[in-house]
Chain A
């Protein structure tokens, strides 16, 4: 069963209309990238998906049930949200305790806990850091700690808010293999990112947002072909896709591996 946003609007207490009228769905096991200008309402939208925020109007349902009737703690068992700023999420003094926090809170049996923590540690490459205080680690690793803490749960939907910010090549490789792995487990992954190369190489479906609304939702080839959408969402084509366009080479290919074969 999917996550469905139907004509959703949300204002922050200071009166900012962050999301105006968003309709979106995320199916089981799907992977979706959300892109768009700063302040477009991306973070707000995904916080609505997991019930951290409740809509002013419209409805958000997960598995057919409205988030309005469910507590944040209940929602977090189904839709896991990894914060854009890892420090909004991390609060214990070692990586190990950060990962064990949720299972301990929920009084999971030790076997179940250890198994889920071990899986998260492996997926997020945290083996060497278990005893370390997260504050002593660089932000890119703190980001993986935040992801790991969410992966310990048994969510069917995982939302990553800008996991690529400041990530290096090995980090990006790790992130890609993590997303691939989640997909093999049938877990849907929604990722907000500003990295268009990552979007086109790792996602089939992209949602572009601007000014609190969705301006495009579809296959990457379609969305990135539309100049008007790119302009409104203030996004760009991946560098090599723009290159072939500058050269007037007729192709909708976006990935480097495909573009190689289009260059004369």
Chain B
């Protein structure tokens, strides 16, 4: 069964004229890591919210077409049940913090308590994610008195503590330092290995290229292309003036422009290194023959 099947889905928020999503046809499989990319206001957050039922159940607006989540029509889901199956981290880390808890520890525990989990189990789970995200020094702090990146980590920790089958994350690393961004993606990759399905919005294309199985590119509410990561990033459909690509992909294009193209277009640093190394070994001749 697919994680989600969208057929001709359009959504227009109440009191707006322009649809946020236009005629989206898309099937998302379970057990994969999907990255949604695209310029600002291209519909990425709306697509995330739709997978989690926030749109249209909590945001007013008009949905046309059909949206099925795990084989069931979105409208047939009980919102509480859907929220248990799909963990969701909002785009703005500053609004994800509940505001009702006095410590980071309690903040992360909040969702688990709401599930009615016994308290020793809650403590175990919280301790585990605190360690994974190196939040140990912050557990006693007030969640409203954290730096921007620390807040984002706490928001992420709260969601992964819930251990939902499906995790939808709208920009998990926007406020994070490079090392923490890597750490978050390593945790996500590990969750996937355990069989979870993950859908995330990300602007850091170097990380997307390294970790995502498939990429969904949106622009102006429309699906530009969906496919395996390297296929999408090297597709002519992706207009580089609107949608960022991995830095090494830009480098390959720049090399091609000065008449020294690589044998293939790389999307990860490792691929780029291999391609360049091969031609360093082969000398200028190997370079020309490709």
Across the interface, B141 reaches (CB within 8 A) one of A16, A37, A87, A236, namely A16
User: Does B78 make an interface contact (CB < 8 A)?
Assistant: no
Chain B residues whose C-beta falls within 8 Å of the C-beta of A40 in the assembled complex: 177
Contact A194 B175 (CB under 8 A): yes
User: Does A98 make an interface contact (CB < 8 A)?
Assistant: no
Chain B residues whose C-beta falls within 8 Å of the C-beta of A38 in the assembled complex: 147-150, 153, 175-177, 180
Query: What string of 1s and 0s marks CB contacts (under 8 Å) between B187-205 and chain A?
Result: 0000000000000000100
Query: What string of 1s and 0s marks CB contacts (under 8 Å) between B101-135 and chain A?
Result: 00000000000000000000000000000000000
Say whether, besides A38-B176, A234-B180, A263-B260, A166 and B203 are in contact (CB < 8 Å). yes
Chain A residue at smallest Cβ distance from B279: A264
Query: What string of 1s and 0s marks CB contacts (under 8 Å) between A1-35 and chain B?
Result: 00000000000101010000000000000000000
Chain B residues whose C-beta falls within 8 Å of the C-beta of A171 in the assembled complex: 39-40
Which one of B1-9, B88-96, B161-169, B224-232 is at the interface? B88-96
- Given the complex of chains A and B, what is the CA–CA distance between A194 and B179 in angstroms? 10
Query: What string of 1s and 0s marks CB contacts (under 8 Å) between A138-174 and chain B?
Result: 1111000000000000000000011001111111000
User: Does B142 make an interface contact (CB < 8 A)?
Assistant: yes
Contact B280 A141 (CB under 8 A): no
Chain A residues whose C-beta falls within 8 Å of the C-beta of B280 in the assembled complex: 247, 264
Chain B residues whose C-beta falls within 8 Å of the C-beta of A103 in the assembled complex: none
Chain B residue at smallest Cβ distance from A210: B177
From A16, A171, A243, A259, residue with most partner B Cβ within 10 Å: A243
Contact A243 B251 (CB under 8 A): yes
- Given the complex of chains A and B, what is the CA–CA distance between A136 and B145 in angstroms? 26
Say whether, besides A168-B39, A238-B247, A260 and B255 are in contact (CB < 8 Å). yes
Chain A residues whose C-beta falls within 8 Å of the C-beta of B148 in the assembled complex: 38, 43, 84-85, 161-162, 165
B32-64 with Cβ < 8 A to chain A: 38-42, 45
Contact B248 A140 (CB under 8 A): no
Say whether, besides A168-B40, A170-B39, A243-B272, A256 and B95 are in contact (CB < 8 Å). no
Contact B180 A138 (CB under 8 A): no
User: Does A92 make an interface contact (CB < 8 A)?
Assistant: no
User: Does B174 make an interface contact (CB < 8 A)?
Assistant: yes
Instruction: Give B contacts to A, CB under 8 Å.
Output: 16, 38-42, 45, 91-92, 94-95, 141-142, 145-150, 153, 171, 174-181, 203, 206, 240-244, 246-248, 250-251, 254-255, 258, 260, 269, 272-273, 276-277, 279-280
Contact B248 A165 (CB under 8 A): no
- Given the complex of chains A and B, what is the CA–CA distance between A203 and B248 in angstroms? 21
Query: What string of 1s and 0s marks CB contacts (under 8 Å) between A75-106 and chain B?
Result: 00000000011011000000000000000000
- Given the complex of chains A and B, what is the CA–CA distance between A182 and B206 in angstroms? 30
Chain A residue at smallest Cβ distance from B241: A169
- Shortest B37–chain A CB gap in Å is 9
Across the interface, A87 reaches (CB within 8 A) one of B92, B153, B276, namely B92
Contact A240 B277 (CB under 8 A): no
Selected A-B contacts with CB under 8 Å, 19 pairs: A38-B176, A39-B147, A43-B148, A84-B175, A87-B95, A88-B94, A140-B40, A166-B40, A167-B40, A168-B203, A168-B242, A171-B40, A234-B177, A234-B179, A235-B177, A240-B250, A247-B276, A256-B254, A264-B279
Contact B273 A166 (CB under 8 A): no
- Given the complex of chains A and B, what is the CA–CA distance between A84 and B151 in angstroms? 12
Chain A residue at smallest Cβ distance from B90: A139
Chain A residues whose C-beta falls within 8 Å of the C-beta of B273 in the assembled complex: 243, 246-247
Chain A residues whose C-beta falls within 8 Å of the C-beta of B16 in the assembled complex: 136
From A38, A43, A170, A236, residue with most partner B Cβ within 10 Å: A38
Contact B178 A239 (CB under 8 A): no
Query: What string of 1s and 0s marks CB contacts (under 8 Å) between A37-50 and chain B?
Result: 11110110000000
Contact B177 A87 (CB under 8 A): no
Chain B residues whose C-beta falls within 8 Å of the C-beta of A246 in the assembled complex: 269, 273
User: Does A36 make an interface contact (CB < 8 A)?
Assistant: yes
- Shortest A45–chain B CB gap in Å is 11
- Shortest A82–chain B CB gap in Å is 13
Would you list the 10 A-B pairs with minimal beta carbon distance, nearest first? A38-B149, A239-B247, A234-B179, A168-B39, A236-B178, A140-B40, A165-B174, A166-B174, A85-B94, A260-B254
Contact B91 A139 (CB under 8 A): yes
Contact B276 A264 (CB under 8 A): yes
- Shortest B5–chain A CB gap in Å is 27
- Given the complex of chains A and B, what is the CA–CA distance between A234 and B39 in angstroms? 28
Contact B147 A43 (CB under 8 A): yes
- Given the complex of chains A and B, what is the CA–CA distance between A117 and B20 in angstroms? 29
Say whether, besides A43-B148, A84-B148, A239-B206, A165 and B175 are in contact (CB < 8 Å). yes
Contact A196 B178 (CB under 8 A): yes
Contact A139 B92 (CB under 8 A): yes
Contact B180 A141 (CB under 8 A): no
Across the interface, A197 reaches (CB within 8 A) one of B45, B247, B269, namely B247
Chain B residue at smallest Cβ distance from A236: B178
- Given the complex of chains A and B, what is the CA–CA distance between A260 and B206 in angstroms? 18
